[in-house]
Chains A and B, each alone.
Chain A
Amino acid sequence: MNDNINIFEIKDCALIALATGERAQNLRELGERLRNTDGACVYYHVWGSMLRPRFDDPEYQNDFAAWAYRELHDQALAEKLTSVDPTRFSDLEDLRREFIDIIEERLDELEYIPWAKSNRQFFFVRSQVVVFDTNMRVETPQSLLEHIKKMSHGSIFYHFVEARRRNASRADDFSEWLKSFGEAHETLVKALSIIDPYFNTLKELQNELITTFEKTLKGKQGN
């Protein structure tokens, strides 16, 4: 955002993955490594999944859950891990503790330690994120819509997904900015708030945002 409250600055970001050399073969190792690994690892395996090769309609929302399901064949654990909403944790350390608690609770429940096949280990990867200013500025919601149509997926991720971690309100950047116009765009803010970003690719999410903006702004013009 800018000092001038009604100007929206469009940012963009790019993520790159780094191997840590850490890996887990079973659930106990997953918990232990997770306790000691870099915070950037937690970011990568939870948030980074949206900026990496992935397919629409993912069954599980983070890499820990996906591994528990696919390689440990523990559906109950996968369900608990995937239900963690990362936007509730502004601090990565709190998010890390939440995952560790779930894993330890599961280890307490089980009489055995679930193992993955030797070639299906969990590889801990950390992220490096570069955020840059596109120098594009927006003053009206209509103009924001036109920019969303041409936005990179990095911008969509940064403003609509990752913003929920940065903003104290846990809202996306578009909604935060629209709120600065008072009640003028209440309907649009409400429409944006019911978009669940986690079951789409970023391309699909971009299309959903465009449709939502178009429908709401058109309705507004019609009134």
Chain B
Amino acid sequence: MANDKSLLEQYAAVVGSEVIDHLKQLSRPLQGARVLHVNSTKEGGGVAEILHRLVPLKRELGMETDWEVITGEAEFYQCTKNFHNTLQGHRYDIPDRQLEVYEQTNSDNFERLREKLEQADYVFIHDPQPAPLLSHCAQRKGKWIWRCHIDLSHPYRPVWKYLREYVKDYDSSVWSLPAFSQRMPHPMYIIPPSIDPLSEKNMDLAPDDLNNLYDEFGLDARRPIITQVSRFDRFKDPIGVIHAYRLAKAFTPLQLILAGGGATDDPEGELVLSEVKAAAEDDPDIHILLLPAVAHKVINGLQRISDIVVQKSLKEGFGLTVTEAMWKGKPVIGGNVGGIRLQVINHHTGFLVDTPEGAAFRIRYLLKRKEKRLEMGEKARDFVLENFLITRHLREYMTLMVGMKDHNNERIMLG
């Protein structure tokens, strides 16, 4: 059934009308502003997911918002994939040929988008793929903001040095956490990512949808379930999760779900998956689920039928799977790293652990103390409601825009 409520009305039902009123007030100085977002994909990945909602929300709030995608040949995407890996620490020198393609692709895209880029009041360039567009835009009218969604805390220096030349001339940049940022000669805003409560990944599901999952995946509804949702990647420590499951299972009945997407762009994923399967040793209570990238509703349901969600990463960016689980009222046992530390608060929304033994100990505790588990789950949901939904993300984008309009003064009085 089509929802005839406006998007803002739909969000008001989740976050409260006062939050939406606050957004409307904040948008007043931005009425009619021309805002342009540019990234490199319309589908797939967290950036596109967020833009699919942010763009219509900004429009409803009175900003003339557009979203453009840059396009290129296979070699361009190979180059930007290399950027992604090296900026997160992988040591690899990107071939000159690929860098030439990167520069030429940006130059071509600039010509295609020239008018919009020159006329916009605010241009948000997402991630490294379109970063050089600014260097072509001599006639720009508005403010340009580079939005970095990746963890740049330990980049491979030669690649960062190359990219920095394009990024330093922006009017400001946006980072997910202070620890992920690199020093720049312009204001560096901190805006953590968010989840969308109305998306397929996070919306409420009917009881029948949840019940069907037990049959579909051969799960026993009478015994507790713990779940980790993540790619099959060593940094997500799936073997450590199996170890923790075994230690806990010696004390309490238990089923484990390890659910992750296919590894099409990650050659190492296949290898890790086979290691995980070997570690599971055909245990019928370990369910290794390779799900397609679009299986959002299934992942949503699996998180909801779980008693506890685990994210025992050894290295993590922000950890949006943690946010998603907490939104579903689940306490999370998370690795003591990255953005997980910002979300999992010991004894309140879950537990931070450093070892499989620590994870097993907390699993046993939470399964034994049902009232604690429910209380922590409730607090976890409230914590996400207050801090990590898309409405907060939007509020911070608008605060940034108002702030930049006012020459970045530390205190801005409007009206």
Interface residues of A (CB under 8 A from B): 12, 14-21, 38-40, 43, 52-53, 55-56, 119, 121, 123, 125-135, 150-154, 201, 203
B183 engages A55 (CB within 8 Å):
no
What bracket does the count of chain B residues touching chain A fall in? 35 or more
Interface residues of B (CB under 8 A from A): 17-19, 21-22, 25-26, 28, 175, 178-179, 181-184, 187-192, 342-343, 345, 348-349, 379, 382-383, 386-388, 395-396, 398-400, 402-403, 406, 408-415
Partner of A123, one of B179, B398, B406: B179
B26 engages A132 (CB within 8 Å):
yes
CB distance from B179 to the nearest CB of A (A): 6
List residues of chain A with CB within 8 A of the CB of B191: 16-17
Known contacts A38-B410, A53-B343; 15 further A-B pairs (Cβ under 8 A): A16-B400, A19-B189, A21-B181, A56-B348, A123-B178, A128-B409, A128-B410, A129-B411, A130-B26, A132-B28, A132-B414, A133-B414, A134-B21, A134-B25, A203-B386
CB distance from B405 to the nearest CB of A (A): 10
CB distance from A58 to the nearest CB of B (A): 10
Q: Which of A16, A123, A126 has the most CB of B within 10 A?
A: A16
B386 engages A17 (CB within 8 Å):
no
List residues of chain A with CB within 8 A of the CB of B349: 55
A19 engages B18 (CB within 8 Å):
no
Contact A14:B410 (CB < 8 A) given known A21-B183, A53-B192, A203-B386: no
B183 engages A151 (CB within 8 Å):
no
A152 engages B399 (CB within 8 Å):
no
Distance, CA A18 to CA B386, complexed state (A): 20
A125 engages B414 (CB within 8 Å):
no
List residues of chain A with CB within 8 A of the CB of B17: 150
CB distance from A155 to the nearest CB of B (A): 8
Distance, CA A3 to CA B161, complexed state (A): 56
Partner of B412, one of A52, A55, A130: A130
Partner of B18, one of A43, A52, A152: A152
CB distance from B280 to the nearest CB of A (A): 31
List residues of chain B with CB within 8 A of the CB of A126: 410
Distance, CA A127 to CA B396, complexed state (A): 12
Contact A18:B415 (CB < 8 A) given known A125-B178, A132-B28: no
Distance, CA A203 to CA B410, complexed state (A): 25
A201 engages B386 (CB within 8 Å):
yes
Chain A residue at minimum C-beta to C-beta distance from B178: A123
Chain B residue at minimum C-beta to C-beta distance from A41: B410
A130 engages B383 (CB within 8 Å):
no
B183 engages A12 (CB within 8 Å):
no
B188 engages A14 (CB within 8 Å):
no
List residues of chain A with CB within 8 A of the CB of B414: 130-133
A16 engages B386 (CB within 8 Å):
no
Distance, CA A14 to CA B411, complexed state (A): 10
Distance, CA A18 to CA B413, complexed state (A): 18
List residues of chain A with CB within 8 A of the CB of B189: 16-19
CB distance from A7 to the nearest CB of B (A): 16
List residues of chain A with CB within 8 A of the CB of B187: 18
Chain A residue at minimum C-beta to C-beta distance from B395: A14
Distance, CA A52 to CA B191, complexed state (A): 11
A154 engages B342 (CB within 8 Å):
no
Distance, CA A77 to CA B190, complexed state (A): 28
Q: Which of A12, A14, A150 has the most CB of B within 10 A?
A: A14
Q: Which of A39, A52, A132 has the most CB of B within 10 A?
A: A132
List residues of chain B with CB within 8 A of the CB of A52: 387
List residues of chain B with CB within 8 A of the CB of A131: 411-414
B412 engages A128 (CB within 8 Å):
yes
CB distance from B174 to the nearest CB of A (A): 10
List residues of chain A with CB within 8 A of the CB of B412: 128-131
A132 engages B415 (CB within 8 Å):
yes
List residues of chain A with CB within 8 A of the CB of B348: 55-56
For the complex of A and B, list the 7 residue pairs with the smallest distance between their C-beta atoms, beginning with the closest: A123-B178, A133-B415, A21-B183, A152-B22, A53-B387, A132-B414, A17-B190
Distance, CA A133 to CA B25, complexed state (A): 8
